[in-house]
Amino acid sequence: MNVDTPMRSFEAEAPHRQGLGAYMACFRGIVWREVLRFLYQRERFFSALVRPLVWLFIFAAGFRQVLGVSIIPPYTTYVLYETFITPGLIGMILLFNAMQSSLSMVYDRETGAMRTLLVAPFPRSFLLLSKLIGGVAVAVLQAYTFLAVAYFWDITPPWQGYITVLPALILSGLMLGALALLMSSLIRQLENFAGVMNFVIFPMFFASSALYPLWRIREGSPFLYELARFNPFTHAVELIRFALYGEVGAKIDPTMTPVEAGISLDGVLIPLASGELLDLTHLVVVVGCTLLFLGAAVYAYNPSKGLIGRRGGPGGGNAG
């Protein structure tokens, strides 16, 4: 009698027999684990804030006179340099928190904790999405803490901006977190994480509009401008920037040329009742990249098809 076939059948059908309560309990457990890990690692909380605050208080003060910012959407007047880089620094918090989650995934794989998670009787996509949401919840908490500190530095967006920026933070956090999940399937050891910092995180951050507007990048280096324009992190930063001022995209006069409007010819535009156009490029890119990265991460963690499976099973360890 072949006992393997009934066992495989039971394992295949087990996730479908789980009720909504079981899914919610699993979801709460994974998210709460991420929150508790963050709360007990207080140095992680402070290090996540120190990095952007150093840029805000020191770097911005030193370059305020050098890097002037013209009147560009969503700003209706000239703004100080520290006001301009605030959305970029929020993006920095989301980016580095996502990479921290990637590092924790590699650590869990080395210690065997990930094996316990991935063999649970739930769809692997649900488990990864739950862990992703847990990481995003921590990142959003860090972002609002940074905004609270920046408020006392006289960086005061409209009060409704603190509410309208929340969906942008969640979407951007999901995109960067999904990218981190995908990267965690490629990193085999903790020692390799330094290479990820040098070749992924820093290029994404510096080749974006986080620290300087795209028009200024275009004046200095057209090649770097093209890199920044196709950088998903640029679109995440701009989405946060517009959402912080209660907008989802730039309002463009249809009589303006794309160059005058500061958008590309392939921008996603919709007409408004006032006759203007609304540029939704940033929103579309962030949502599209989120779905792409998350789908690739789920595939990579598939035990039979993905990269983790090729390394020896759910934990990613070598079989022999």
3-state secondary structure the chain: CCCHHHHHHHHHHHHHHCCHHHHHHHHHHHHHHHHHHHHHCHHHHHHHHHHHHHHHHHHHHHHCCCCCCCCCCCCCCCCCHHHHHHHHHHHHHHHHHHHHHHHHHHHHHHHCHHHHHHCCCCCHHHHHHHHHHHHHHHHHHHHHHHHHHHHCCCCCCCCCHHHHHHHHHHHHHHHHHHHHHHHHCCCCCHHHHHHHHHHHHHHHHHCCCCCCCHHHHHHHCHHHHHHHHCCHHHHHHHHHHHHHCCCCCCEECCCCCHHHHCCCCCCCEEECCCCCEEECHHHHHHHHHHHHHHHHHHHHCCCCCCHHHHCCCCCCCCCC
pLDDT band of 238, cuts 50, 70, 90: very high
pLDDT band of 316, cuts 50, 70, 90: very low
Residue 31 has pLDDT above 70, yes or no: yes
Share above pLDDT 90 across residues of the chain, in percent, rounded to a whole number: 22
Higher per-residue pLDDT: 2 or 135: 135
- pLDDT-wise least confident of 31-40, 68-77, 222-231: 68-77
Higher per-residue pLDDT: 176 or 19: 176
pLDDT (0 to 100) of residue 167: 95
pLDDT (0 to 100) of residue 90: 95
pLDDT (0 to 100) of residue 7: 40
pLDDT tens across 73-88, in order?
788 778 888 888 999 9
Question: For residues 20 and 26, what is the distance between their CA atoms, to the nearest angstrom?
Answer: 10
Sequence-distant (6+) residues with CB within 8 A of 199 are none
> For helices 42-54 and 124-151, what crossing angle results, to 10°?
50
pLDDT band of 260, cuts 50, 70, 90: low
Question: For residues 83 and 281, what is the distance between their CA atoms, to the nearest angstrom?
Answer: 23
pLDDT tens across 88-117, in order?
999 999 998 888 877 777 776 666 666 666
pLDDT tens across 47-62, in order?
778 888 888 888 777 7
Residue 309: how many other CB atoms lie within 10 Å: 17
pLDDT (0 to 100) of residue 190: 66
Residue 64 lies in a domain: yes
Residue 38 lies in a domain: yes
Return the bridge partners of 269, or none: 279
pTM, whole model, 2 decimals?
0.81
The gap between the terminal CA atoms of the chain, to the nearest Å, is 29
Question: For residues 199 and 215, what is the distance between their CA atoms, to the nearest angstrom?
Answer: 25
Sequence-distant (6+) residues with CB within 8 A of 138 are 34, 35, 38, 97
Structure tokens that stand for 213 in this block: 């507007």
Mean per-residue pLDDT for 217-232? 88
Containing structural domain, residue 170: 19-310
- Quick one: 215 exposed, middle or buried, by C-beta within 10 A (0-12, 13-18, 19+)? middle
Is the previous residue joined to 123 through a cis bond, with omega within 30 degrees of 0?
A: no
Sequence-distant (6+) residues with CB within 8 A of 296 are 182
Which residue matches tokens 């209706």?
A: 76
Mean per-residue pLDDT for 219-233? 89
pLDDT band of 293, cuts 50, 70, 90: very high
pLDDT (0 to 100) of residue 258: 54
Residue 169 lies in a domain: yes
- Beginning with the edge strand found earlier in the chain, give each strand of the sheet holding 251-252 in spatial order: 251-252, 277-279, 269-271
If you average pLDDT over every residue of the chain, what do you get? 78
Question: For residues 210 and 80, what is the distance between their CA atoms, to the nearest angstrom?
Answer: 14
Mean per-residue pLDDT for 66-73? 65
Mean per-residue pLDDT for 179-187? 82
Residue 4 lies in a domain: no
Residue 274 has pLDDT above 70, yes or no: no
pLDDT (0 to 100) of residue 101: 78
Residue 278 lies in a domain: yes
Question: For residues 179 and 176, what is the distance between their CA atoms, to the nearest angstrom?
Answer: 5
Residue 194 has pLDDT above 80, yes or no: no
Higher per-residue pLDDT: 19 or 156: 156
Residue 12 lies in a domain: no
Total domains present in the chain: 1
pLDDT (0 to 100) of residue 165: 95
Structure tokens that stand for 135 in this block: 């990481």
